[in-house]
Structure 1
Amino acid sequence: MTNLSIVEALGQIAREKNVDREMVVQTLKDALVSAAKRRYGNTENYFAEVDPQTGAMEVAAHMRVVEEVEEPSAEFSLEDALEIDASAQIGSIVVKKLNFADFGRNAIQTAKQILIQRVREAEREHIYEEFIGRVGIIESGTVQQISHGDIVLNLGRAEAAIPYREQIRRERYRQGDAVRGYIYEVLKSSRGPQVLLSRTHPEFLRKLFSTEVPEIAEGIVQIHGVAREPGERAKIAVSTSDERVDPVGACVGVKGSRVQTVVRELSGERIDIVPWIDEPQIFIERALSPANVSRVITDNRRKHAVVLVDEDQLSLAIGKSGQNSRLAVQLTGWGLDIITDSQYQERRAKQEGIQQLLRKIPGVSELIALSLTTSGFDSIRSVSEATIELLRTVPGLEDEDASRKIRTTAENFLAEHGPDVDKVEDPVVTAVEVKENGSPENTKDDSHSSEGLT
């Protein structure tokens, strides 16, 4: 290979693999040194030079002049050294240039393998650094294959995968299909960087709206929250600081053009766009749309709310299989207890009965009884058997001595009056309790849970 060919090859490798030319030159030097070691001996006295401008290459061994040679690959006798350098003497270093023709096929093959391996590692590192900086954006790729349920995509310079758990269930893909996804993680592996995409991530929906709605991209409209049940339904909360802009209208677009573009990308996922407001009661009402809410009673300490609706709105507020209520919980970040007004009144009556029962404990005030009731205590026994740590979570009982005293008092009261004193009338009330990441279920107020009681 001519020197010009070497220069061209170095440039071609750097361009095709998108790596630094200096790194390729240094790798070639290391490969030549490894070839020399394989041919002449594994010592650390070999050095290589490559001129990236001319392509000239040189490998040399620095040999120490000694009286008696013990390591032929690193030492010269004085007689041999004088043939190369007339000024050589015992203890000096003589530079011996090596002939590439003497390296042999195995040594050259070793150099080639090292060059290929190092360039591949540099390319992988470059790709990793490129994509780790792109986490949080949408990337488009072409389906290469479906492997064990995962979709393998070709992103051009890298491969990516959409794991089965990150796919919208109703979607089906074939080889060659174009697919977009949200980059949520980039992993290092022996085969190179693994770029992981998601089509179910809430941020995917946020980024799609940012792409379709210029007002979001420009910061005029803000997305405060995203809740999704991928492929089925989603809710987003939006607001704006510009009174001239309608945030919901901006996301919907003329004749629904903007939101429909996002819906088509998500295979028909229905999207509710909710005006955000920094007032929990109003925001919760809006989040439960299309149901009409009569009243929202909030407990800021527990970030939990009781939502009162008319009888004919209850199923609409909950939604099919609890979907509407679950999305509202995700969107607002509040636990929601959705009931009718009549159920709420019955619950209040039961709560007042529990409070009166707890007030039988000597020293328990009306306020402490209310705190115990809203914290989930529904009997004197539940107080007597509670841990000190649990009692200290009750407002007004944060002090350890106060918690210990009320527990001891409850124990003594039961011991003195017997279990029959620990009874309260228990009206049957059916409510729908909705918790984040859970489905609604019919519960009775005679359970130990008192979430939503006010």
Structure 2
Amino acid sequence: MGNQLFDAIDHLAKEKGIDKGILMEALEAALISAYKKNFKSASNVRVELNEETGKMGVFSRKTIVEEVENNQEEISLDEAIKLDPKYELEDVIEVEVTPKDFGRIAAQAAKQVVTQRVREAERGIIFSEYSDREEDVMTGIIQRKDSRFVYVNLGKVEAKLAEAEQMPTEEYFVHDRLKVFVTKVESTSKGPQIYISRSHPGLLKRLFEMEVPEIYDGIVEIKSVSREAGDRSKISVHAPDPEIDPVGSCVGQKGQRVQVIVDELKGEKIDIVEWSEDPVVYVTNALSPSKVVDVLVNEEEKATTVIVPDYQLSLAIGKRGQNARLAAKLTGWKIDIKSESDARAEGLITDTDDEETYSDNNDEDLFE
């Protein structure tokens, strides 16, 4: 029985990729527990497993006394001397107490503990594998859905896509393939629990890293992302090398690169703007596609007042304030947008400034 048990554990350890030592330690603990339960022993016992001989033994620690009152924890001096003449009173010795049918007990305990430890080890392996994928994109298949979650199979585990993490403009159908952003991986008593998102800004960032080689290689950097999932997003990019066009790299030839991402996000509009350490330039870029006359900067409050042509006011603000809101999130600057008329009335710009701006804009329009 012993050899068969050890062979089975060895095979299982190799098949499941589990440390054999962990299984052997668990088996020892289970055998001790089983022995105490079956033989009502409260004594301090240990189990010895010999893989070479295939033998298993139970040993009880007993104190040498003159008169035995508890057979499970004590042994007489006469009995101890029979084992070894060197023993004296109060010495603690180990006595083999292996039951005749211990093989049957071992088989039952082994089955239970190995099953449990294999399950725990597999959960640990899966947790380790998926915890490394936090803040990354994975592709899964929708298995089912209910009123709270869409359940996505990611291979070895099922992940939960909560309602708050779903794109409001997107429908989810069973068997559909889906790219998701892994927000968190938790270890629970039932195994690894993976939380995913389709609305997280990190999804947009990772998709660009996947589609744009220059970003993956570090030639182009993603500086910031602001997103209102399913509707519109803004992403700012920068290339340390002035010879590299960061926006063009992300857009791709004939818009092919960004179009792949737009398709994945079911038509979500994406504004790609160039980052700048100059807040005037950065805020101006972030408010694209609207034109900007001037940007007044308040460094202390990290706030800007942006002046736009009257006819561009609604475009700059955007539907329900979306364009301005996304630009503010992208840049980290507060943005207050004013029309030229209001700015002039408040004395923020002069007629001279207005003429110079229009002259510059007209020159640009001629070249365009």
The code of the aligned residue for 1:62 comes to R
State whether structure 2 residue 197 is matched by structure 1 residue 189: no
- Preserved contact between residue 135 and residue 185 of structure 1 (Cα < 8 Å): yes
Question: Following TM superposition, by how much is the alpha carbon of 1:173 offset from its aligned partner in structure 2, in angstroms?
Answer: 2.5
Question: Following TM superposition, by how much is the alpha carbon of 1:126 offset from its aligned partner in structure 2, in angstroms?
Answer: 4.1
Q: Distance in 2 between the 1:125 and 1:69 partners?
A: 48
Matched pairs, number: 346
- Preserved contact between residue 159 and residue 193 of structure 2 (Cα < 8 Å): yes
- Preserved contact between residue 292 and residue 313 of structure 1 (Cα < 8 Å): yes
Tell me the residue number matched to 2:252: 253
Summarize the Cα distance change of 1:21–1:104 in structure 2 as closer, same or farther, 3 Å threshold.
closer
Instruction: Please give the residue correspondences for 1:183-262 in structure 2 after superposition, counting only pairs within 5 Å.
Output: 183-262=182-261
Q: Distance in 2 between the 1:15 and 1:21 partners?
A: 11
Does the residue aligned with 1:128 lie in a helix, a strand or coil? Answer: helix
Which segment drifts farther, 183-192 or 242-251? Answer: 183-192
Does the residue aligned with 1:289 lie in a helix, a strand or coil? Answer: coil
- Preserved contact between residue 232 and residue 269 of structure 1 (Cα < 8 Å): yes
Tell me the residue number matched to 1:19: 18
Does the residue aligned with 1:117 lie in a helix, a strand or coil? Answer: helix
Summarize the Cα distance change of 1:156–1:66 in structure 2 as closer, same or farther, 3 Å threshold.
farther
Does the residue aligned with 1:188 lie in a helix, a strand or coil? Answer: strand
Question: Following TM superposition, by how much is the alpha carbon of 1:102 offset from its aligned partner in structure 2, in angstroms?
Answer: 4.7
Question: Following TM superposition, by how much is the alpha carbon of 1:98 offset from its aligned partner in structure 2, in angstroms?
Answer: 0.7
- Preserved contact between residue 39 and residue 103 of structure 1 (Cα < 8 Å): no
Instruction: Please give the residue correspondences for 1:260-279 in structure 2 after superposition, counting only pairs within 5 Å.
Output: 260-279=259-278
For structure 1, the residue ranges without an aligned partner over 5 or more in a row are 350-454
Which segment drifts farther, 307-316 or 166-175? Answer: 166-175
Does the residue aligned with 2:194 lie in a helix, a strand or coil? Answer: strand
Q: Distance in 2 between the 1:115 and 1:63 partners?
A: 30
Q: Distance in 2 between the 1:235 and 1:63 partners?
A: 75
Question: Following TM superposition, by how much is the alpha carbon of 1:335 offset from its aligned partner in structure 2, in angstroms?
Answer: 1.1
The code of the aligned residue for 1:294 comes to V
Question: Following TM superposition, by how much is the alpha carbon of 1:99 offset from its aligned partner in structure 2, in angstroms?
Answer: 3.0
Tell me the residue number matched to 1:332: 331
Instruction: Please give the residue correspondences for 1:49-60 in structure 2 after superposition, counting only pairs within 5 Å.
Output: 49-51=48-50, 56-60=55-59
Q: Distance in 2 between the 1:276 and 1:238 partners?
A: 5
Tell me the residue number matched to 1:385: none
Tell me the residue number matched to 1:150: 149
Question: Following TM superposition, by how much is the alpha carbon of 1:147 offset from its aligned partner in structure 2, in angstroms?
Answer: 3.7
Tell me the residue number matched to 2:138: 139
The code of the aligned residue for 2:207 comes to L
The code of the aligned residue for 2:210 comes to T
Question: Following TM superposition, by how much is the alpha carbon of 1:274 offset from its aligned partner in structure 2, in angstroms?
Answer: 0.5
Larger Rg belongs to: 1
The code of the aligned residue for 2:147 comes to H
Summarize the Cα distance change of 1:70–1:267 in structure 2 as closer, same or farther, 3 Å threshold.
farther
Tell me the residue number matched to 1:400: none
The code of the aligned residue for 1:181 comes to V
Does the residue aligned with 1:193 lie in a helix, a strand or coil? Answer: strand
- Preserved contact between residue 262 and residue 269 of structure 2 (Cα < 8 Å): yes
- Preserved contact between residue 13 and residue 19 of structure 2 (Cα < 8 Å): no
- Preserved contact between residue 31 and residue 112 of structure 1 (Cα < 8 Å): no
The code of the aligned residue for 1:311 comes to D
Summarize the Cα distance change of 1:176–1:66 in structure 2 as closer, same or farther, 3 Å threshold.
farther
Could you state the TM-score of these two structures normalised by the residue count of structure 2?
0.84
Q: Distance in 2 between the 1:92 and 1:291 partners?
A: 88
Tell me the residue number matched to 2:93: 93
Tell me the residue number matched to 2:176: 177
Summarize the Cα distance change of 1:51–1:256 in structure 2 as closer, same or farther, 3 Å threshold.
farther
Deviations 1:139-163 (A, max 9, x none): 2333232243212233333332122
Deviations 1:344-390 (A, max 9, x none): 123349xxxxxxxxxxxxxxxxxxxxxxxxxxxxxxxxxxxxxxxxx
Q: Distance in 1 between the 2:126 and 2:262 partners?
A: 32
Q: Distance in 2 between the 1:58 and 1:6 partners?
A: 14
The code of the aligned residue for 1:281 comes to V
Q: Distance in 2 between the 1:94 and 1:54 partners?
A: 21
Could you state the TM-score of these two structures normalised by the residue count of structure 1?
0.69
- Preserved contact between residue 41 and residue 73 of structure 1 (Cα < 8 Å): no
Summarize the Cα distance change of 1:190–1:248 in structure 2 as closer, same or farther, 3 Å threshold.
same
The code of the aligned residue for 1:96 comes to E
Does the residue aligned with 1:12 lie in a helix, a strand or coil? Answer: helix
Instruction: Please give the residue correspondences for 1:313-392 in structure 2 after superposition, counting only pairs within 5 Å.
Output: 313-348=312-347
Summarize the Cα distance change of 1:223–1:74 in structure 2 as closer, same or farther, 3 Å threshold.
same
Summarize the Cα distance change of 1:176–1:99 in structure 2 as closer, same or farther, 3 Å threshold.
farther
Q: Distance in 2 between the 1:2 and 1:246 partners?
A: 70
Does the residue aligned with 2:262 lie in a helix, a strand or coil? Answer: helix
Tell me the residue number matched to 2:123: 124
Tell me the residue number matched to 1:30: 29
Summarize the Cα distance change of 1:175–1:64 in structure 2 as closer, same or farther, 3 Å threshold.
farther
Q: Distance in 2 between the 1:268 and 1:348 partners?
A: 42
Does the residue aligned with 1:234 lie in a helix, a strand or coil? Answer: strand
Q: Distance in 2 between the 1:279 and 1:111 partners?
A: 68
Tell me the residue number matched to 1:8: 8
- Preserved contact between residue 36 and residue 103 of structure 1 (Cα < 8 Å): no
Tell me the residue number matched to 1:283: 282
Q: Distance in 2 between the 1:100 and 1:312 partners?
A: 96
Deviations 1:177-199 (A, max 9, x none): 33222222222333233111111
Which segment drifts farther, 291-300 or 60-69? Answer: 60-69
